Structure 1
Amino acid sequence: MISVFDMFKIGIGPSSSHTVGPMKAGKQFVDDLVEKHLLTSVTRIAVEVYGSLALTGKGHHTDQAIILSLAGNSPDTVAIDATPAFLRDVAQRQRLMLAGTPHEVDFAREGGMVFHHTNLARHENGLRIHAFAGDRCVYSQTYYSIGGGFIVEEAQFGQAVVNEVSVPFSFTSAQQLLEHCRDTALSVSGLVLRNELALHERAEIDRYFAAVWQTMRACIDRGMNTEGVLPGPLRVPRRAAALRRMLIAGDKHSTDPMQVVDWVNMFALAVNEENAAGGRVVTAPTNGACGIVPAVLAYYDHFIEPVSADIWLRYFLASGAIGILYKMNASISGAEVGCQGEVGVACSMAAAGLTELMGGSPEQVCVAAEIGMEHNLGLTCDPVGGQVQVPCIERNA
């Protein structure tokens, strides 16, 4: 059973499958080198990037993410402000410290990382990392980034999870979820909490989702207070800060009951502009669609009642349950199923979470999730210039 933790991962922009996933793969690779006592024998690292990862890799900072992770950084803790200087140093010296240790290896500016536009056999997002001692390859691993920051090693691709922890209310469909809720008289969030308690201690659950909401709020705050132009060749101007000023000025005089929707849109724009700038965000369920779930909770916080620990936990558990269903039965990868699997799923998750907070029954939560997806069916993944900017940011709003 997938944990709700896996639907909300703290990381960096601009892409969960092309930035966060490769970064996790690189970190796993150097952790393996340490575990296998191979690290100090390594003299050179080489990386091969395939398929969709290669085609949009530069725009999605795939290369930067891999380099940072080989140095021992993780998506949730990497010091974002320090990365430009670090990457310049690696490029200039063509040397890289591995796994957060003083051990340095060669990492050539030309040929150290090669982009292949062909796919590996199993998935569109593939990468191979090789560690050499002299001319001898001492360790090599193939990874697939399958969407939402999830990665799979080649040997485990398509295999069932071994020794999976059992949960009291396992479900693989909305029908099963609703049957469990009817049998137990539990809400969707209450039922999912029982499952999470089989996987994590209660204190860990509370800490994790407090950190998730804190990260989302900080991201909104940065986004709606930052001016300028987003990085990349498109020169897309940031809009959230200007929209916020307009809304604050208009609030004093407006009688438009729909103005609240403009606030929701502004919150979403703020998050996705931060994501496009490589800021710290939370997959919900992906980076490309990371603005919708926090924007709806920010709406609740500003216009319904202040969000407490109980409120954000119920919201994330209910919305996460819907995300799990899409992850298990379809996909949350834009490379696999288009934007319907990212923005569509995020809209569905947010609708479910809000319905839960508004007192909706389990049936109403699922109906809201269906309505949220309905108008996104068939939405393709077609980012201009390979940047997570146009139309990605606007679609979140």
Structure 2
Amino acid sequence: MDFDYSPRTKQLQAQVREFMDAYVYPAEQRYWDEIDANTRAGRRWTPVPVIEELKPKARAAGLWNLFLPDSEYGAGLTNQEYAPLAEIMGRVPWASEVFNCSAPDTGNMEVLVRYGTPEQKKRWLEPLLAGEIRSAFAMTEPAVASSDATNIEARIERDGDDYVINGRKWWTSGAGDPRCKIYIFMGKTDPAAPRHSQQSMVLVPADTPGVKVLRPLSVFGYDDAPHGHMEVDFANVRVPASNILLGEGRGFEIAQGRLGPGRIHHCMRTIGLAERALEMMCQRASRRVAFGKPIAQQTVTQERIAEARCMIEQARLLTLKAAWMMDTAGNKAAKGEIAMIKVVAPTMACQVLDWAIQVHGGGGLSQDFPLAQYYAHVRTLRFADGPDEVHRNAIAKMELGRHAA
């Protein structure tokens, strides 16, 4: 594996850093002020103006849809080339949206690029690529342990030229945004089929009768408005049969194609956030004095800073290895590394953020610093795209198989 970045990646890294320095970091306080203003005005679930202002600037700079490896629709970057760009964006949790590189739209656009019909691409992919609309992915259900996706109970039943959909979903990220116009919905089309051929995915326009957003779910008290993680009810929702993706029984196949790159993106953004936390930790430790000397001179602080640096570097190298393997050998060959990074990156970031909060004292828990919200965001990733336990089980089975008699 070549550990160096390609010339194109280095150029884009410089461009993304320059854009972040010029526009994103200076707008961080404005972002929070606008969230507060929307809340006071009773319009909490509306787009944040500063993000909408920055999107045309990013697009004009050529920093748009960088995540898409398909050169017809995106930048044509490999996973390994995009990964370090995702890390830079990840230093500010809302920055990815500025570049039209935020989840769940990235995964949904990849699904449409890979599996959508020309008609589906025209209606939904093109406005998503243009940043005109947003989307959601409806998979997890409150009534069952969705870590085992074969447990999903929602039904997609054929009725003439339509499918009729019934089910309750939650943690449907992005469904709180008024710009969310399309759901990718996963449910069972044939409960009698083999275990991994029962599920299908279908496109459900958000304004279809029977689709009802019930409530936002909070994460440690944060509702992540205006994006949100919503509980959504689908009651006798009728869509044309042409809205099926790839065909009946292909849901797991689509999910695997969607999740591989998405996990690389999540992990690299998480590494970027950990870098930001370590930077804040060092700055705070150098400025604050306790027991007669700066906190940075306390041995325990130095140990934590050193350990954080080691952990970040290890997570980055493992994630880049996974990206390289996906590019050179395919998602299936990289499944072990993909599972490992999904465990390693958010666990690492949670620890680094915890240490950064400790250095900030009581302030680290408050709204005066972003660390508490960063922690809530990263802790969520230990469930998103599969909980730690599922990935650890997969890693253990591969390891046991490798050493079987």
Instruction: State the TM-score, normalizing by the size of structure 2.
Output: 0.25
**TM-score, length basis structure 1:** 0.26
- Higher RCO (CA 8 Å, separation ≥ 6 residues): 1
